[in-house]
Amino acid sequence: MLRLLLLALFLVPALAAAQPARYVATNATVYTVDADQPTAEAFAVEDGRFVAVGTEAALTAAYPDWPTLDMDERTVVPGLIDAHAHLMGLGEALLQADLVGTTSPAEIVERLVAFAADLPEGAWVTGRGWDQNDWGGDGAFPTRADLDAAFPDRPVWLGRVDGHAGWANTAALRAAGIDPDAPAPMAPEGGAVLVDDQGRPTGVFVDAAEMLVAEAMPTPDLAYYTEALTRALAETSKYGLTGVHEAGSPLATLPLYRQFAADGRFPIRNYVMITPGEIGAFCDAYPDGIGEDRVIVRSVKVYADGALGSRGAALLADYSDDPGNHGLLFRPDEAVEATVRAAMACGLQVNTHAIGDRANRQVLDAYEAAIAATGGGPGRHRIEHSQILSLDDIARFAAMDIIASVQPTHATSDMPWAGDRLGDDRLKGAYAWRRLLDSGARLALGSDFPVERVDPLLGFHAAVTRQDSDGMPAGGWYGNQVLTRAEALRGFTLDAAYAAFMEDEVGSIAPGKRADFVVFSQDLMTVPLEAILDTEVVATYIDGTPVYEAEDE
């Protein structure tokens, strides 16, 4: 059993402030992710920081009067950091109908009917998580007709699992001012409105076109966002996360985040990326960024293209399963470069979503030009996803110190149909983690939750096996691209911290750093690969204080 003498020190915030925590954690297998001392048996914590790391004998002798925290032969690693996630998006998803894993439009309607029964009369019915690729057949998109019978008068708006397409019923079209019997409205740049054989909207809107419907929805109030954030934060610590990089958040959310932090209700370090339309306003208001303990803001999230599953990822050549379609670039090259230059010029890190090989090349070109023109600002710019790359572009990451922010579970989620979209040749540069790492690039690992599940062990497992949670396929999907366990752990800790300019504070268990760490039920670095997902989080600590402890501990 985990037992800290002076437990009251952690149970009462007032006491924690008056009497700084100090203890020696013992009886553990510690993976430090510190090159100077990769493993240890014990560590000492004082005032929320590691003060010593080493053997149990040495530390108990050095600090004989300190209370001890018996780890009961558990495994300890640095606090895990999800380098690409959507914290508020997770909370909002938890307030909507959960459509993840549905196998047909009929099952979706069944879930929606049950969900709508608890909604106020006339409220929009919202949900997220559908994926037409999971429905069998040819993977065709659904239509509004699939929803209209159950919801003839009530607007329904459903987000695809990746957030890059929305599905509306006829009532939602009418609420948005779209005539369902007339030719579909023109899609904005970077978007597509799917139409039937008569040119009428089918109800599916891709990428930028989603706003044609979404903007008609009632604006949520503060209570809604407060509940969403509360639910999201309750999900993170129990999976061992001590940090997230929030991939795109409007400035309007910052007061709520900062209030939660001030109230002691933010049990995670949130590295927030602002939206590109707010670069000027943010730089004017916060010329040095925001560098608080739990809310850190000094980067911007830019979009280059859509997603592979909805065929919105911008490709250099046509989709193998959709001749004539090569996806969607959100903006022309010169506009992307202008945004990147503006961000770099005011000292922001630039983190750009790019899925397709055309989009990744556009972003690499924009970074190269902007770095030459501005000096690159703070550096450490990132490409979020770095998913499908021309083999010729892989070496450019290391050459410009561009971080590849990748999500291992995207590979295992996409593998049933990615070959249909891309063909065998392009798959050589897709989800190419080993090629990127061997070229000298740095990988920051994440999940993209709620697109994927929050649990970082799913990403760790996918990174080291290239298999899904059922252990398929045997040998891994393009198994030559696996990471070692040490590389995967580093990607979720020290290199994720580096990607947020925080490697001197977090990311490894080393003297002087903040005491963020996770206690696991077993040694995920040595158990058989097939047993990794049996690992459970026993406790999560931030600044040396537990923010989550398993109920049976």
CATH of the domain at 71: 2.30.40.10
Instruction: Look at residue 399 and tell me if it is in a domain.
Output: no
Based on the domain organization, do 168 and 195 belong to the same domain? Answer: yes
Task: Give the global pTM.
Answer: 0.92
Determine, yes or no, domain membership for 439.
Answer: no
Residue 304 lies in a domain: no
> Residue 553: its pLDDT value, please?
57
Is residue 70 located within the same domain as residue 104?
A: no
Pairing of strands 49-54, 68-78: unpaired
In a domain, residue 16? The reply is: yes
Report the distance separating Cα 44 and Cα 68, nearest Å: 9
* Pairing label, strands 3-4, 241-246: unpaired
Exposure of 506 in the CB half-sphere (CA atoms within 13 A): 33
Q: Is the peptide bond before 473 cis (omega within 30 degrees of 0)?
A: yes
Question: Is the distance from CB of 535 to CB of 460 less than 8 angstroms?
Answer: no
Q: Are residues 73 and 108 in the same domain?
A: no
**Would you state the pLDDT for residue 551?**
86
Backbone angles phi and psi of 273, in degrees to 5? -100, 125
Check: CB of residue 544 under 8 Å from CB of residue 101.
no
> Do 167 and 206 share a structural domain?
yes
Which of 214, 241, 272 is the C-terminal boundary of a domain?
Answer: 214
Same domain, 169 and 96: yes
**CATH of residue 156:** 3.10.310.70
Per-residue pLDDT tens over the stretch 395-438 = 999 999 999 999 999 999 999 999 999 999 999 999 999 999 99
Q: If you ran DSSP here, which 8-state letter would residue 528 be given? A: -
Same domain, 106 and 201: yes
Rounded CA-CA distance 282/366 in Å is 22
Whether 172 and 194 map to the same domain: the answer is yes
Residues 210 and 99 in one domain: yes
CA distance 250 to 176: 23
Strand partners, 541: 517, 546
pLDDT at 12: 30
Give yes or no: residues 96 and 66 share one domain: no
Range of the domain at 56: 1-79+509-553
| Of 222, 287, 232, 284, the residue nearest 259 (C-alpha) | 222
| 463 domain residue, yes or no | no
**What is the largest distance, in Å, between two alpha-carbon atoms of the chain?**
81
Residue type, 410: H
Mean pLDDT of the chain: 94
Same domain flag for 55 and 8: yes
* pLDDT digit string (tens) for the chain, length 553 residues: 333 322 222 233 332 333 347 999 999 999 999 999 999 999 999 999 999 999 999 999 999 999 999 999 999 999 999 999 999 999 999 999 999 999 999 999 999 999 999 999 889 999 999 999 899 888 899 999 999 999 999 999 999 998 999 999 999 999 999 999 999 999 999 899 999 999 999 999 999 999 999 999 999 999 999 999 999 999 998 999 999 999 999 999 999 999 999 999 999 999 999 999 999 999 999 999 999 999 999 999 999 999 999 999 999 999 999 999 999 999 999 999 999 999 999 999 999 999 999 999 999 999 999 999 999 999 999 999 999 999 999 999 999 999 999 999 999 999 999 999 999 999 999 999 999 999 999 999 999 999 999 999 999 999 999 999 999 999 999 999 999 999 999 999 999 999 999 999 999 999 999 999 999 999 999 999 999 999 999 999 999 999 999 987 5
Query: Looking at the 3D structure of the chain, how many domains does it have?
Result: 2
pLDDT score for 418:
97
Decide if 397 is inside a domain. Answer: no
Structural element, H or E, at residue 13: helix 13-18
* Chain length of the chain: 553
For residue 338, what are the contacts with CB-CB under 8 A and spacing of at least 6?
A: none
In a shared domain, residues 66 and 144: no
Give the type of residue at 504.
D
Same domain (yes/no): 28, 138: no
Burial environment of residue 428 by CB neighbours within 10 A (0 to 12, 13 to 18, 19 or more): middle
Q: Write the Ramachandran bin of 73: left for phi over 0, alpha for psi from -120 to 50, otherwise beta.
A: left
Indicate the residue among 214, 233, 253 that finishes a domain: 214
